[in-house]
C-alpha cells in the first residue's frame, strides 16, 4: 500500500505533504520509506523535540510483554517544505 501512496505522490504537483498512518511494523522495515527519507523526507518522530515531544519515542508497547520493548509503528513523515 505504501508503494501505491508514493506512486500517487509522484503524479501530483509538488508541494507540502504530510503522511500519517498505522503501519503495524517498524518504519525502517519498509524499503519505500527508507528511499524517501534518503530523498529528503523527514520522519517526524525522529525530530519530535522540535515540537515539544521526545525524539524516537515509542508509539506501541505490548501490554503483556515480559520485557517492555517499545516500537514506532505509527508513521509520520513530511516533505521538507511542509515543516
The string of pLDDT tens digits covering residues 35-68 is 999 999 998 888 889 989 988 887 777 677 665 5
More confident residue, 72 or 13: 13
pLDDT at 59: 75
Q: Are 55 and 45 in contact, with CB atoms under 8 Å apart?
A: yes
Report residue 5 as a C-alpha cell.
501512496
The pLDDT of residue 11 is 96
Q: Break the chain down into helix, strand, coil percent, rounded to 5.
A: 40, 20, 40
Verdict on whether the full-model pTM lies above 0.85: no
Q: How many CB atoms lie within 10 A of CB 47?
A: 15
What does the pLDDT read at residue 24?
A: 74
Which of 39, 69, 60, 58 shows the shortest CA–CA distance to 77? Answer: 39
Amino acid at each position: 500500500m505504501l508503494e501505491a501512496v508514493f506512486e500517487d505522490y509522484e503524479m501530483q504537483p509538488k508541494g507540502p505533504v504530510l503522511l500519517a498512518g498505522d503501519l503495524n511494523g517498524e518504519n525502517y522495515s519498509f524499503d519505500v520509506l527508507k528511499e524517501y527519507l534518503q530523498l529528503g523526507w523527514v520522519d517526524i518522530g525522529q525530530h519530535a523535540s522540535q515540537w515539544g515531544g521526545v525524539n524516537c519515542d515509542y508509539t506501541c508497547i505490548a501490554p503483556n510483554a515480559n520485557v517492555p520493548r517499545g516500537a514506532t509503528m505509527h508513521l509520520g513523515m513530511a516533505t521538507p517544505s511542509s515543516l
